[in-house]
């Protein structure tokens, strides 16, 4: 994915954690659902809940990809 690709994120949508940075391996492949969008110091963060553990976390929008199954 490059900077010109468009990803549509929606509240309640299901996504997979797939960071562009190959060194970010933590939580890669986990499925989550978007709960809210939050602005933190000018950056857009996305509050998600992991579907396997029901844990809420904040992620960067660039770390989420649509589930393609």
Q: What is the pLDDT of residue 1?
A: 45
Q: Determine the Cα–Cα distance for residues 65 and 4; give it in Å rounded to an integer.
A: 15
The total of structural domains in the chain comes to 1
Q: Determine the Cα–Cα distance for residues 69 and 61; give it in Å rounded to an integer.
A: 20
Is 40 inside a domain boundary?
Answer: yes
Is 36 inside a domain boundary?
Answer: yes
Q: What is the pLDDT of residue 6?
A: 62
Is 25 inside a domain boundary?
Answer: yes
Domain that holds residue 36: 14-66
pLDDT at 52 over 80: yes
Mean pLDDT of the residues in the chain: 86
Q: Determine the Cα–Cα distance for residues 56 and 47; give it in Å rounded to an integer.
A: 7
Is 24 inside a domain boundary?
Answer: yes
Mean pLDDT highest for which of 8-12, 16-20, 36-40, 48-52? 48-52
Percent of the chain with pLDDT over 70: 88
Q: What is the CATH number of the domain that holds 49?
A: 2.30.30
pLDDT at 34 over 90: yes
């Amino acid at each position: 994915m490059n900077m010109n690709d468009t990803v549509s994120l929606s509240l309640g949508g299901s996504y997979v954690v797939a960071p562009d940075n190959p060194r970010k391996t933590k939580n890669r492949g986990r499925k989550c659902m978007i709960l809210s969008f939050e602005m933190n110091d000018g950056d857009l963060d996305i509050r998600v809940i992991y579907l396997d553990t029901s844990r809420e976390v904040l992620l960067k929008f660039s770390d989420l990809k649509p589930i393609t199954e």
